[in-house]
């Protein structure tokens, strides 16, 4: 049988492409995802601590896990930078950036901003003191300087971080009440789920990456990765839904974490698509005179960055939506086509790598055969006369107390029975030993009638031994 793994001779001639084991390194999506997940885990943990401190001072939490994760990410980026590595830059830069990060999160409190505008600096400083958590987030990110420590750091974070979550939760519950407590629960709950999900995923990823480096083939990492993400998603769902019901966390709190970043993404998209909208408006203006009488032309206002809603035509036309729809469909089709092509290429490459070398199949093991022989040879309880072995062993025990009748170590059951039967003047032992040999040595089942005779034979032997004594 010839297998399809590249032949060295074919490789030398260039007939077969030499593809080493599947690789994913620094540029791979999973490796890029690892620091993001680490930042989210750290940010979520800090968010819980911050929410607990805010609850203790009777304030609602103003900073979420994603903001803090962003600052952790900035710290991580600063620690792993490739430029400005001099000692004269590192320390001052770190201090400056930490202060900036702290000030940023401190400013998020509107009361602080109002106090500062009013010139009341001292009051502003005291107003949102826990807001300086941003500086801690930055410094935490800076501790992720080496990629080699990722696995250790994540392990420590989860090993001690999970039980340690109990303290801020306890503090938040005990230190607050009413709406503040509810706000704390909502914020802490979301952060806890985020911490668990991102922390476990990051730990798994870091370990997979570590193990992958030490192994020759990287293909299992892909499946392990899928299993890891799927398992954690399932676990978070299983824990999250009943826990949210137990804590009475509003759905808005859960969705806010997801839709917050989504809102930012939508705003960015809106800004990016502004030229497109302008172009569509110009196009509709151009084709307007060609349209039949009676179709209303719209007046489109370019979106602005103002907080108030953008004014659009109150009567948008069919033409506008048709053009927009077509463009959207075309864009989606292009993206879909691109994704499909990428997926097909990847599958083809995987198949080329493994063809002939590896065969995978799902095989359910056949049902175990009945274990009749095992049952027959099962060691019975010592002295149990319901089985031939048990009855014979009980007989041996009876005989062992009589000098001359005990079985010698070198004697077979048959030889022993033959030797002492004349002295006993009963054939009970001969029959017991015969049954024993059938059951033990021949793995045969004695008949039920024979089994019923075991106890009387044992009793006869006992009676005979009493009379001899």
Which positions touch another protein (CB under 8 A)?
1, 3, 5, 8, 151, 158, 162-163, 165-166, 169-170, 172-174, 185, 188-189, 192, 196, 200, 203-204, 206-208, 210-211, 215-217, 220-224, 227-228, 231-232, 235, 239, 243, 246-247, 356-365
Identity of the residue, 90 or 217, whose beta carbon is nearer to another protein in the bound complex: 217
Distance between CA atoms of 192 and 196, rounded to whole angstroms?
Answer: 6
What is the closest distance, in whole angstroms, from the C-beta atom of residue 231 to another protein in the complex? 5
Distance between CA atoms of 440 and 432, rounded to whole angstroms?
Answer: 12
Burial profile 57-91: b = 16 or more Cβ within 10 angstroms, e = fewer: eebebbbbbbbbbbbbbbbbebbeeeeeeeeeeee
Identity of the residue, 38 or 387, whose beta carbon is nearer to another protein in the bound complex: 38
Instruction: Give CA torsion, residues 262, 266, 271, 273, to 10 deg.
Output: 140
What is the closest distance, in whole angstroms, from the C-beta atom of residue 62 to another protein in the complex? 20
Q: Which long-range contacts (CB under 8 A, 24 or more apart) does 204-213 make?
A: 204/228, 204/232, 205/30, 205/33, 205/34, 205/37, 206/34, 206/150, 206/151, 206/154, 207/151, 208/30, 209/30, 209/31, 209/34, 209/150, 209/151, 210/151, 212/24
Identity of the residue, 228 or 396, whose beta carbon is nearer to another protein in the bound complex: 228
Identity of the residue, 211 or 297, whose beta carbon is nearer to another protein in the bound complex: 211
Residues with Cβ < 8 Å from 373, sequence gap 6 or more?
Answer: 443
What is the closest distance, in whole angstroms, from the C-beta atom of residue 61 to another protein in the complex? 14
Identity of the residue, 156 or 263, whose beta carbon is nearer to another protein in the bound complex: 156
Identity of the residue, 338 or 357, whose beta carbon is nearer to another protein in the bound complex: 357
Nearest residue to 150 via CA among 84, 80, 221:
80
Identity of the residue, 364 or 469, whose beta carbon is nearer to another protein in the bound complex: 364
Nearest residue to 438 via CA among 387, 369, 365:
387
What is the closest distance, in whole angstroms, from the C-beta atom of residue 216 to another protein in the complex? 6
Q: Are 201 and 228 in contact (CB under 8 A)?
A: yes
CA angle 176, 157, 43 (to 5 degrees): 55
Distance between CA atoms of 195 and 40, rounded to whole angstroms?
Answer: 7
Identity of the residue, 172 or 390, whose beta carbon is nearer to another protein in the bound complex: 172
Identity of the residue, 113 or 173, whose beta carbon is nearer to another protein in the bound complex: 173
Phi then psi dihedrals of residue 369, to 5 deg: -70, 155
- Report CA-CA distances (Å) from 61 to 130, 131, 143, 456: 9, 9, 25, 85
Q: Are 64 and 259 in contact (CB under 8 A)?
A: no
What is the closest distance, in whole angstroms, from the C-beta atom of residue 254 to another protein in the complex? 13
Q: Which two tokens stand for residue 178?
A: 């009413």
Identity of the residue, 246 or 290, whose beta carbon is nearer to another protein in the bound complex: 246
What is the closest distance, in whole angstroms, from the C-beta atom of residue 288 to another protein in the complex? 59
Distance between CA atoms of 275 and 288, rounded to whole angstroms?
Answer: 20
Q: Which two tokens stand for residue 15?
A: 């007939």
What is the closest distance, in whole angstroms, from the C-beta atom of residue 377 to another protein in the complex? 24
What is the closest distance, in whole angstroms, from the C-beta atom of residue 174 to another protein in the complex? 6
Q: Which two tokens stand for residue 168?
A: 């801020």
What is the closest distance, in whole angstroms, from the C-beta atom of residue 250 to another protein in the complex? 15
Strand, helix or coil for residue 410: coil
What is the closest distance, in whole angstroms, from the C-beta atom of residue 20 to another protein in the complex? 10
Identity of the residue, 174 or 302, whose beta carbon is nearer to another protein in the bound complex: 174
Q: Are 419 and 411 in contact (CB under 8 A)?
A: yes
What is the closest distance, in whole angstroms, from the C-beta atom of residue 188 to another protein in the complex? 6
Burial profile 119-140: b = 16 or more Cβ within 10 angstroms, e = fewer: eeeeebeebbebbbbbbbbbbb
């Amino acid at each position: 049988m010839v297998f399809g793994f590249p032949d060295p001779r074919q490789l030398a001639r260039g007939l077969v492409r030499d593809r080493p084991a599947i690789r994913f390194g620094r540029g791979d999506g999973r490796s890029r995802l690892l620091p993001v997940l680490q930042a989210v885990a750290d940010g979520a943990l800090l968010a819980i601590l911050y929410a607990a401190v805010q609850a203790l001072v009777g304030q609602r939490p103003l900073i979420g896990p994603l903001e803090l994760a962003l600052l952790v990410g900035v710290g991580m980026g600063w620690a792993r930078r490739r430029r400005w590595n001099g000692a004269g830059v590192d320390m001052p830069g770190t201090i400056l950036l930490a202060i900036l990060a702290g000030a940023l999160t401190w400013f998020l409190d509107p009361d602080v901003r109002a106090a500062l505008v009013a010139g009341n600096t001292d009051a502003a400083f005291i107003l949102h003191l826990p807001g300086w958590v941003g500086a801690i987030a930055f410094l935490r990110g800076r501790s992720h300087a080496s990629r080699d420590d990722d696995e250790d750091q994540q392990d420590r974070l989860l090993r001690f971080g999970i039980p340690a979550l109990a303290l801020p939760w306890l503090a938040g519950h005990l230190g607050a009440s009413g709406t503040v407590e509810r706000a704390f629960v909502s914020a802490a709950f979301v952060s806890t789920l985020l911490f668990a999900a991102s922390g476990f995923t990051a730990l798994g990823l870091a370990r997979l990456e570590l193990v992958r480096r030490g192994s020759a083939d990287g293909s299992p990492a892909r499946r392990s990765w899928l299993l890891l993400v799927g398992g954690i998603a399932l676990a978070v769902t299983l824990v999250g839904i009943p826990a949210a019901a137990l804590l009475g966390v509003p759905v808005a709190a859960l969705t806010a974490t997801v839709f917050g970043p989504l809102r930012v993404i939508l705003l960015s998209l809106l800004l990016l698509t502004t030229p497109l909208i302008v172009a569509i408006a110009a196009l509709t203006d151009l084709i307007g005179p060609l349209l039949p009488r009676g179709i209303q032309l719209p007046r489109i206002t370019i979106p602005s960055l103002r907080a108030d809603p953008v004014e659009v035509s109150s009567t948008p036309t069919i033409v506008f939506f048709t053009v927009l729809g077509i463009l959207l469909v075309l864009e989606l089709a292009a993206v879909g086509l691109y994704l499909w092509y990428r997926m097909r290429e990847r599958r083809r490459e995987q198949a080329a790598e493994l063809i002939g070398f590896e065969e995978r199949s799902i095989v359910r093991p056949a049902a175990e055969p009945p274990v009749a022989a095992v049952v027959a040879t099962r060691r019975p309880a010592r002295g149990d006369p319901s089985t031939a072995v048990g009855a014979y062993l009980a007989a041996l025990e009876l005989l062992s107390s009589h000098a001359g009748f005990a079985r010698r170590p070198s004697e077979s059951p048959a030889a022993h029975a033959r030797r002492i039967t004349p002295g006993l003047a009963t054939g009970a032992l001969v029959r017991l030993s015969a049954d024993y040999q059938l059951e033990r040595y021949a793995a045969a089942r004695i008949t039920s009638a024979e089994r019923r005779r075991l106890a009387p034979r044992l009793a006869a032997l006992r009676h005979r031994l009493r009379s001899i004594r």
